[in-house]
Structure formats: C-alpha cells, structure tokens
C-alpha cells in the first residue's frame, strides 16, 4: 500500500493537467471577450471608395423630367397601333384624349384626326359627350389628312384618330404609318354596328395592333330597373334604316346582352315603330 506522502504526490500529479486545461480555457474566454469589446476596424481608405462605387452602380441614376420625356419619345420611334373600341357612350373619345394628353406631356407631337362626316358638336374639333374638346383635322380619309398636314406630317410622333370606323383607308394607312414611318397610332371607334356586325375596317387591325382596349358603357334599360349592368352593344332606337346614321342618345342606346336580344325582337315584330331593322349605324363623337 502507498503511504500518505506517496498518495499525495500521485494526486497532485494527476491534478496538474486538469488545472492547466481550466487555465487555458479561461484564457481563451478572456481573449474572446476582449475581441468583442474592440471597435471594428475602419475599412482601408483605398478599398472603401471602390466598394462605395460598386454599391452606387446598383442604384438607378436620377433622371430629369426632360430626360424621361426624351426616352419616352424615343420609345415611340418603333411605331405602334393601339385600338380603343366599345359600344356607344363607353368613353372611347375620352380615353383617346387622355392618351393624347399623356403623349404631349411626354414631349411628343400629336395630330388628332376625325371624319368630316361628324359636324354635330364642332366641325373642327373632337368633342366628347361630357364636353371635352380638342382641335383636330377633319378629313374624308386618312390620306386626305396626310395631304392637308403637308410638311407638318413628318414631325408628328403620334396620330390619334377618332371615329376610326368611318375611314375607308384605315387599315392601309395605319399599317404603313406604324411599320415604315414609325408613328404611334391611337384609334378610337366602334367594333360593331347596331346589328352586331363588323363596322368599317376597325376589326381588320386586330391582328396588327400592339394593344386593344375594350370599353363598356352602362345599360340604359337596366338603369331604369335600378340595376347597374355593363353595356357591350349599341341599340338603334330610331325609326331609320339607313346604313350611315350619325346620332347620339336620340338615335342609339347602350345595352346589355339581355336587353339587346329582347328589344331587337320587338324591333323585328314592329317595323313601323321606333325600332326598325336594317342598315348599320354610325355613332356621334365619343
């Protein structure tokens, strides 16, 4: 058996490695705590500008209003055809003039054109049902408009056409103007007559158009029933069978599908009343 002195020597020798381990662990903890307390080193003066420049490259540069307008003008140099269609009283001309105002605000030169058949509100202006008014070219065809514009035509970025269904050369003129003259065409017109048949050449531009907007009105007869229903058709309510009949609320009414079917049946049964069959109608300036 070991004596007391020998046993004490053995236990002290075995305790030394354990004490050393505890001491080393405490030293590591102190070093870690001191490193967390120290402030972060400032970035190197030579590398910080490069880092800042790389970050700033990710931010879009501020553009002035003039630069934005110039870029928008350049975007239209490729040419485009935009259709705005719908029934009577859908606000097609209002939408046309809204886009015209946007183009002019972007610094683009705009020509507004309408058919010379429409002389009810003003022979030299496009006028909406709610009274908005804009001077325009009034011509029997778009070729006639181009001739009347003369040298000014080359400077137009945008050509806005109201009552597009009335122009006999609509398809050819718009195709050439957009494809080869790189002009933006904004066209507002009926996509169908009061018999729900094609009207003019508006539908011929569907496969050529960049965008098509279909507007709706509110059904006149649903409103009398205290209901608000979208109107997608134009119903002729006047006793007139002429193909071209320019008129407003006294001649046409915007109707939903249900009322179009019901009232068209009444018109077929009573060809001597206010509703008569035949022909295709023209609308007044929207």
| Residue-by-residue DSSP string for 53-96 | HHHHTTSPPP--HHHHHHHHHHHGGG-EEEEEE-STTS-HHHHH
End-to-end C-alpha distance for the chain, whole angstroms: 119
Catalytic annotation present for 12: no
Rounded distance, CA 102 to CA 95, Å?
11
Rounded distance, CA 192 to CA 172, Å?
20
205 and 78 in contact (C-beta within 8 Å)? no
CA angle 143, 146, 152 (to 5 degrees): 175
Rounded distance, CA 209 to CA 177, Å?
12
Across 11-49, b (16+ Cβ under 10 Å) vs e yields: eeeeeeeeeeeeeeeeeeeeeeeeeeeeeeeeeeeeeee
Rounded distance, CA 253 to CA 275, Å?
11
Tokens 């800042």 map to which residue?
A: 52
Rounded distance, CA 239 to CA 136, Å?
32
CA quadruple 187, 192, 193, 197: dihedral sign: positive
The strand pairing partners of 185, in sequence order, are: 81, 159
List the catalytic residue out of 38, 95, 151, 163: 163
CA angle 216, 221, 224 (to 5 degrees): 120
What residues are labeled active site? 163
């Amino acid at each position: 058996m070991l004596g007391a002195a020998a046993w004490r020597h053995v236990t002290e020798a075995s305790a030394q490695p354990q004490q050393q381990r505890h001491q080393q662990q405490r030293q590591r903890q102190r070093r870690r705590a001191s490193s967390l307390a120290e402030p972060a080193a400032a970035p190197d003066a030579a590398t910080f500008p490069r880092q800042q420049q790389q970050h700033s490259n990710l931010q879009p540069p501020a553009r002035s209003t003039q630069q934005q307008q110039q870029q928008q003008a350049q975007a239209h140099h490729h040419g485009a055809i935009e259709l705005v269609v719908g029934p009577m009283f859908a606000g097609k001309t209002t939408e046309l003039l809204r886009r015209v105002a946007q183009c002019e605000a972007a610094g683009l030169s705009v020509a507004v054109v309408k058919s010379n058949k429409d002389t009810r509100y003003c022979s030299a202006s496009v006028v909406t049902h709610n009274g908005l008014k804009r001077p325009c070219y009034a011509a029997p065809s778009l070729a006639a408009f181009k001739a009347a514009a003369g040298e000014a035509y080359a400077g137009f970025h945008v050509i806005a056409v109201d009552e597009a269904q009335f122009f006999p050369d609509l398809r050819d003129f718009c195709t050439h103007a957009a494809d080869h003259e790189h002009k933006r065409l904004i066209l507002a017109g009926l996509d169908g007559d009061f018999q729900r048949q094609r009207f003019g050449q508006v539908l011929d531009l569907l496969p050529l158009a960049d965008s098509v907007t279909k507007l709706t009105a509110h059904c006149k007869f649903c409103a009398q029933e205290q209901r608000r229903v979208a109107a997608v058709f134009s119903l002729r309510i006047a006793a007139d069978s002429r193909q071209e009949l320019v008129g407003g609320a006294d001649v046409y009414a915007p109707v939903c599908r249900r009322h179009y079917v019901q009232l068209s049946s009444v018109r077929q049964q009573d060809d001597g009343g206010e509703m008569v069959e035949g022909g295709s109608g023209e609308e007044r300036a929207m």
